[in-house]
Amino acid sequence: AQIILSESTLDNKQWQLGATKIFIRHPESLFFLEESLERHDYDAAMKIQKVYRSWVAKKHSLEQRAAAANLLKGKKDRRQESNNPQFVGDYMSYDKNYGLQDSLGPNKDERVVFADQVVKINRRMKPERRDLIVSVEAVYLVMRTKKLNKDWYKLIRRIPLKDIISCSLSTLKDNFVVIHCPPTDILIECSHKTEMLAVMLEYCQLNTGRAFVLNFNNSISYSIPGGDTRQLAFTQDPSAQRPKLKKVGRTLTISIAPGIGKDADTAPRLTVQVGGGVPKPVGGGGGGIGGGGM
């Protein structure tokens, strides 16, 4: 008791130790001590909650990366960068971009679990830069334009996760994904496709009790506005370290160099951590970040 009182900001003249009791000179000093105790308890509780939330987040990230790696293993060629796993979730500071948040309109309060810039291939098979956002309820595509040195955002499409029928990918190491959903499909190139698909599958399962199908084929057909269809054809080209796109009629041919193989083990490998902490990954994961891809 003496140590606690001496380390407090309470003047030494405001208290005195007895044989079995502490004597406080003024009631205000007692109120101050009670308030200090409540503040200390609150700070301690916040610290415990912060550590626990961090533990839960790291544990969930490890589980998510392991599940993501299994999605593509044996089905799709992987990049070298897939052995450097980092699931960030927000790749464009969505939480600080209020203009982008406002573009979601009445749905802007939905919890966002993934945000990244992607390339959308339009109906004329031309690339367009788009912001892709995945919330716990839906997938959003947002167009970004610059006027008077200011970014402006316009929501192009909202796809509820429950409406996604399937997603199609090639068996090569490219980053193209076709999202099959009514009324028309969407073709995008996303460098963090593994994380994106893992998040979409997780929350689709939570919301609907089902997971949409993942198809792997080097010939993919998808629908476009107007009731028409387009065809994707994927081929290997050792010289194409970056995808080469060639349009012929209604077919878009995409050539890409070989990767590290379909059976590459990119699941996170764990080390045993003393003290009951979260094991840290020492190996690969579902994919990489930056200029590589997953």
Whether 67 has a pLDDT exceeding 80, the answer reads: no
What confidence category does residue 264 fall into, taking pLDDT thresholds of 50, 70 and 90? Answer: confident
Residue 30's pLDDT is: 67
What is the pTM (predicted TM-score) of this model? 0.72
Q: Give 95-133 pLDDT, tens digit per residue.
A: 889 999 999 999 999 999 999 999 999 988 999 999 999
Query: What's the burial of 42, exposed, middle or buried (CB within 10 Å: 0-12/13-18/19+)?
Result: exposed
Q: Which residue is listed with tokens 């969930």?
A: 60
What confidence category does residue 60 fall into, taking pLDDT thresholds of 50, 70 and 90? Answer: confident
What confidence category does residue 40 fall into, taking pLDDT thresholds of 50, 70 and 90? Answer: confident
Torsion sign over Cα 248, 253, 255, 258:
negative
Q: Which residue is listed with tokens 């008791």?
A: 1
Q: Which residue is listed with tokens 């405001």?
A: 14
Reduced 3-state DSSP string for 91-147: CCCHHHCHHHHHCCHHHCCCCEEEEEEEEEECCCCCEEEEEEEEECCEEEEEEEEEE
Does residue 236 or residue 84 have the better pLDDT?
A: 236
DSSP state of 221: E
Provide the residue count of the chain: 294
Torsion sign over Cα 232, 233, 239, 245:
negative
How far is residue 146's CA from residue 11's CA, in Å, rounded to a whole number?
Answer: 61
Does residue 12 or residue 282 have the better pLDDT?
A: 12
Whether 71 has a pLDDT exceeding 90, the answer reads: no
In three-state secondary structure terms, 56 is helix
Whether 289 has a pLDDT exceeding 60, the answer reads: no
